Amino acid sequence: MEIYAKAQELANLIAESKELKAMRDAEAAMMCDPEARKLVEVYQDLQMEAMKSGLQFDQLPEEMRKEIELTEEKMSQNAKIVAYMEAQDAFEHILKSVNLIISNALNGNQNTCSSSGCAGCTGC
């Protein structure tokens, strides 16, 4: 069926995109850096602990909130983590734009974004 062929074509284009490559490269660089890797692991452990508590961030014990905030601050100062987060944002923007184009077509709204993204469109 043509729909599946087009879906596969779209998947292939996304898989070959410079944004996905940049995100994967940035992730590999981040995970190969011992300091960045440790920060990510600590942050993930803190997130898991917070989720298990079932509390909202502002309801967490002050000590835990401070530890999370300190870890986030350290992460924001690590060049490899920042590069990964920026690359991830760029890739996610592509996925959101594609989803918006599909949603608009399904809803009968043909005012989709241009190939350059949503810079000139009010739909995003």
Helix-strand-coil percent breakdown of the chain, rounded to 5? 75, 0, 20
Q: Tell me the C-alpha distance between 85 and 102, whole Å.
A: 26
State pTM to two decimals: 0.79
Cα 114 to Cα 3, 91, 97: the distances in Å are: 22, 16, 9
Question: What local confidence, expressed as pLDDT, does residue 109 receive?
Answer: 80
pLDDT of residue 19: 98
Q: What is the pLDDT of residue 1?
A: 84
Neighbours of 30 (CB within 10 A): 22
Whole-number pLDDT of residue 49:
95
Q: Is 59 exposed, middle or buried (0-12, 13-18, 19+ CB in 10 A)?
A: exposed
Mean pLDDT by 10 residues, the chain (124 residues): 95 98 98 98 96 93 96 98 98 98 89 55 54
Whole-number pLDDT of residue 110 = 64
Tell me how far apart the alpha carbons of residues 64 and 9 are, in angstroms, rounded to a whole number. Answer: 46
Which pLDDT does position 46 carry in this prediction? 96
Question: What pLDDT score does 3 carry?
Answer: 95
CA distance 30 to 81: 6
Task: Say if residues 39 and 75 touch (Cβ distance below 8 Å).
Answer: yes
